[in-house]
Structure 1
């Protein structure tokens, strides 16, 4: 056993640890709202006709139901497909309150374009709107707008409209004909007092073949959850290998020393 073998094993260990660190550092956990931006309320928002239908905020968080929906152009062709769970989180009086979108109470609106499409989930009391952009061989969400007009969550709370926007970002990017998928939770920070959680999420605009999702593009959270156990296993194996090589190398040196005596 030579010094070269020992150095190669040590180099493999350091490379694995560096890969793990860079993978974790590049993981975007949250998407923040643009500073100083006030989202415009689009004209397609449904009119609230009954205050009794306004969203009721809950003091405890629950798993949102999955929503399966599509947006079609006037010719009946699907231009946007989405599968997602949506949870609104608002902060009032230093407490968090929650509201989950109900698939049975939603209306899908928007429009289909060749380079830009708008996809909106509308309900009595608010909406969630995505703006898709097609740029070259990729597509992404450039803007997310959210609005919520809930019943006041507490006796001392006033009726408020919570509104926020995430813009100037390339969210959920995928190559044309592919869908973006994230089984882990995605948190959109719409404002300091307002967040939207998406879990799980699969979404695609443009180039849907027969209206179906294309090949999935994995988000960083899912990638790290899948790869970290593999990387840690490789690091553990490398550590064991280094320990074995060190033991063998030390033993050989001692043996050579005894032979010289």
Structure 2
């Protein structure tokens, strides 16, 4: 093998690795959020008479049950469809406490028009609301509101109403007629002490053909999990090829040296 052929092989190998890296870096689906900090409200709401129905925070995290819910417009057509599991995470006294939303105790409310949809999950002691916007050929969630009124998680803790909001953002972006999907956990930081975890998540507003989800748009975390093994495999192959090329090149040089003698 000549020096020229070795250089060509190495250039092709480096070009392939650069293409894989640029593909991963250019994926536009990374979720970010601007959070409006809202303080927790202490004992400011009207008392809930049936305390047994208030959400009970747990010290251990468990997978939330998944459920499918839809919202229809005035014409009776599905305008929002969501499949998700919802977990609230509260931070108190430097500890995390968890509450999973029960599908059987949750109702869907909201409204839809051609450019905006408000989709809210409501249960006794809390709610989670998404505001969808349709802008050109894209739709996204511009605002997320959450509220939770749990029983005090510990003896020294006070009863609080936890509220949080993400506003002025473009979450779960998808083209019209497509759905946003994320099998990995999606965490929405609503306040420093309050967040919501959605796992798994598939959601779509507007242009639902026959009320069904459209083609899935993959979230960043899922894309990353799928691409990392491919990139690692390519790197391993590259290392093997470089080792083989180096061995062949050294061997040829030794053989040429013997012929000259």
Give me the TM-score of the superposition, normalised by structure 2: 0.90
Kept in 1: contact 2:37–2:192 (CA 8 A): no
| Aligned position for 2:35 | 34
| Distance apart, 1:67 and its partner CA | 1.5
Partner in structure 1 of residue 138 of structure 2: 138
Return the alpha-carbon distance in structure 2 between the equivalents of residues 150 and 33 of structure 1: 25
1:244 matched residue in structure 2? 244
Match of 2:104 in 1: 104
Cα separation, partners in 2 of 1:54 and 1:21, compared to 1, 3 Å: farther
Q: Which runs of 5+ in 1 are unaligned?
A: 40-46
Unmatched 5+ stretches in structure 2: 41-46
Question: Partner of 1:256 in structure 2?
Answer: 256
* 1:143-222 equivalence runs, <5 A: 143-222=143-222
Distance 1:8 1:64, change over 3 A: farther
Distance (Å, rounded) in 1 between the aligned partners of 2:76 and 2:5: 64
CA RMSD in angstroms, aligned pairs only: 2.4
Superposition TM-score, scaled by structure 1 size: 0.90
| Counterparts of 2:59 and 2:26, CA distance in 1 | 33
Judge conservation of contact 1:29–1:187 (CA < 8 Å) in 2: no
Cα distance in 1 for residues equivalent to 2:207 and 2:18: 39
Measure how far apart 1:29 and its partner are: 7.0
Q: 1:83 to 1:94 in 2, by over 3 A?
A: same
SS at match of 1:161: strand
Q: How many Å separate the matches in 2 of 1:190 and 1:5?
A: 57
Instruction: Please give the per-residue CA displacement for 1:96-145, whole angstroms capped at 9, x wherever unaligned.
Output: 00000100010100101101100000011110000101111111111111
How many positions carry a matched residue from both structures? 254
Q: Is the 8 A contact 1:13 1:239 kept in 2?
A: no
| 1:95 to 1:36, Cα distance in 2 relative to 1, 3 A | closer
